Amino acid sequence: MQEYGIAKRRKNIIYFGIPAFLILGAYLAFWTPQFYVKLMYNAPVILGLILSLLPYIILLFGVMLLLMYFRFQKYWNNQLVISKEGFIDNAGFGFRETLISWKDIKGFKMKKVMRKNYMFIELNNEQKYLDKVSKNSVKNHLKKMKTHNGYLIGLAVDWYEIPSYEIIELFKHKIALNEQEQNGGY
């Protein structure tokens, strides 16, 4: 079994981004610099209102990021787990902690969505995996994704510490091995 965590560059964004929002928001909210006060009072009414609320919005955003970090921290260490039986994508939206079996995969297609590489996986029995999803809102979102992309599962291959081309080769290899086993030969 191979486990791949989130890429370090993504972790660094979180580790430095959360404190930056908290410090900037607290600095502007509680120790307002002179230039910021002048900017607020010399600006038109709407802009002045926005500028006066901005420090609290930044601070609130930092607190929300901090809470989200603690809420989803358990998924950060082993986001992609690849075994002989299949794979588990804990970073994915609907199928966290669900083993997607190699024998259920027909194939996959690479697609770029908003400058990110995604692997869309075509399944033999999609209903089997949809039945495992407990929340109706998540089920509906997955069905919308299926009608929009044609695929139920989208794997963000850029998120992991392993390069995307290695994930692609690993999936090709595992799918080919499974096909050989199903056909009775090695």
Supply the pTM of this predicted model. Answer: 0.63
Long-range contacts of 29-35 (CB under 8 A, 24+ apart): 29/55, 29/56, 29/58, 29/59
Kindly state the percentage of the chain with pLDDT values over 70: 88
The pLDDT of 99-126, averaged and rounded, is 84
Which residues have CB under 8 Å from 177's CB, separation 6+? 102
CB atoms within 10 A of CB 23: 13
Give me the mean pLDDT over the 64-75 stretch: 78
What pLDDT, on a 0 to 100 scale, did the predictor assign at position 155? 80
What number is the average pLDDT over the span 5-11? 72
Q: Which of 21-25, 29-33, 144-148 has the lowest mean pLDDT?
A: 144-148
User: Taking the domains of the chain in order of start, what are their residue ranges?
Assistant: 2-75, 80-182
* Span 143-172, average pLDDT: 79
Q: In whole numbers, what is the pLDDT of the chain averaged over residues? A: 80
Read off the pLDDT of each residue in 78-88 and give the average, rounded to a whole number.
82
Give the residues across from 6 on adjacent strands: 160
| pLDDT at 149 exceeding the cut of 70 | no
Residues 35-63 have a mean pLDDT of 82
pLDDT score of 77: 60
Residue 27 scores a pLDDT above 80: yes
Those residues with Cβ within 8 angstroms of residue 110's Cβ, 6 or more apart along the chain or in another chain: 117, 118, 119, 120, 168
pLDDT tens for each residue of 120-136: 888 887 778 777 777 77
